[in-house]
Amino acid sequence: MNGFALDRLVPAHVRAFEAYVPSPPDDVLRRRFGIAHLHRLNNNENPLGPPAACREILARWDPRDAALYPQGDGWHLRRALAARFGLDAEQVILGNGANEVIAFVIKAFCEPGDNIVTADRTFAVYEWLASFSGVAPRLVPLRDDGFDDAALLRAIDARTRLLFLCNPNNPTGSWWDHARLARFLDAVDGRCIVVADEAYAEFAEDPDFPDSFALMARHPNLVVFRTFSKMWGLAGLRIGWMAAAPEVAATVRKTSISYSVNLLALEAARAAVWDVEHIAATRAHVGAARARLGALAGRLGLKMVGAIGNFAMLHLPVADTVVHRRLMARGVMARAMTSFRYPGWLRVSFGSDEAMEAFAGALEVVLAEA
């Protein structure tokens, strides 16, 4: 074979993209760091796991059903979500995690040469997906750790197709309220699709948190993302969803992949809709963990940010990458934020009480050593 020149076949924007490398599995990390147990506080998972009704579905599942394809577009789950939020089932599209839904909207609205607008320090997948699709990410600096409305509006131009607002923002936990989002949509005035990524919405207890589904009627350019990975404790099954005005959803449906959500995820998610006891228990756990982490930060003299979500960030007096490594050696994994444009910061998920205690103990020792 002489004619194979890989580079000739790979678009420049794919060649230029540096692939994301996920962390190795726990068994590999345990061996690498010589530890008996690893507490993962790096992925914002729910330590309470899924709601009781989901557990029952999983426990009762007949393994022979693994041979069957799932229903192709989540017929029943879409209806359950639509009923919960006063939507039509055609407005709801499911994906293999909200991550896949990000890919659907980029494919639906962007072509090479277009751009997306988002913040410089937010969930990185918007930027990554745009970059390796030949779509320029325009990254607007956060202001006071939150999305900056005026600067975002200035960044929109004639080639802007999508604007991603992470609300609440991962990793800072900052958020826009209903009035602010409504004002912003008025100002955008339909020039691009505005995606409100509400992966952590179920953690918001403030009544002023946006009712984005209601805003969609007046603003058909608004797309809302949700996930079953965070509040609902189904991250391992990979299921997320979006809702949009009917004509917008019909467009995204063209680029969505039927059958990409597995059978078990569909059934478990349907059982989760909309378990308010689970929400209350998770919020109570998160509230207590946030208070304890706040007290630790106070004792150690560290700045902490994070108003909403099952995570917070701590500002360290030494390099986050060094602290990360030393915490790993003590069996605790948090997220070092240098590669997410937050040098000196560590993001910590609110895990189990045991994991949070392990983190607190390890951090005190590591900072004392440093």
Residues in 106-145 at the binding interface with ligand PLP, rule: CB under 6 A: 123
* Shortest spacing between CB 85 and ligand PLP, in angstroms: 17
Here the tokens at position 257 are 């992949």
Q: Which residue stretches of 189-306 are H helix? A: 212-218, 246-255, 263-272, 276-300
Task: Calculate the CA 211 to chain-centre distance.
Answer: 19
Let me know: does 243 contact 83? Beta carbons within 8 Å. Answer: no
**Contact window for ligand PLP (CB under 6 A) among 94-102, 154-162, 268-276, 347-355:** 94-102
* Shortest spacing between CB 173 and ligand PLP, in angstroms: 11
The answer to the question of residue 229 lying near ligand PLP (CB under 6 A) is: yes
Smallest CA-to-CA distance from 219 within 251, 252, 243 is with: 243
Residues in 39-58 at the binding interface with ligand PLP, rule: CB under 6 A: 44
Place of tokens 């999508």: 162
Of the pair 57, 103, the CB lying nearest ligand PLP is at: 103
When binding is defined by CB under 6 A, the residue of 110, 129, 156, 166 that contacts ligand PLP is 166
Smallest CA-to-CA distance from 340 within 125, 135, 24 is with: 125
**Contact window for ligand PLP (CB under 6 A) among 91-99, 262-270, 300-308, 354-362:** 91-99
* Shortest spacing between CB 171 and ligand PLP, in angstroms: 8
Measured CA to CA, the distance from residue 213 to residue 193 in angstroms comes to 15
Measured CA to CA, the distance from residue 1 to residue 262 in angstroms comes to 39
Buried (b) or exposed (e) across 5-31, using 16+ Cβ within 10 A?
eeeeeeeeeeeeeeeeeeeeeeeebbe
Sign of the CA dihedral with 94 first, then 99, 100, and 103 last:
positive
Residue 12, SS3 per DSSP: helix
The answer to the question of residue 98 lying near ligand PLP (CB under 6 A) is: yes
The answer to the question of residue 269 lying near ligand PLP (CB under 6 A) is: no
**Contact window for ligand PLP (CB under 6 A) among 51-59, 153-161, 227-235, 350-358:** 227-235
Q: What is the DSSP letter of 69?
A: P
Of the pair 240, 360, the CB lying nearest ligand PLP is at: 240
When binding is defined by CB under 6 A, the residue of 47, 173, 240, 351 that contacts ligand PLP is 240
Of the pair 38, 199, the CB lying nearest ligand PLP is at: 199
Q: Which residues bind ligand PLP (CB under 6 A)?
A: 44, 97-99, 123, 166, 170, 197, 199, 227, 229, 235, 240
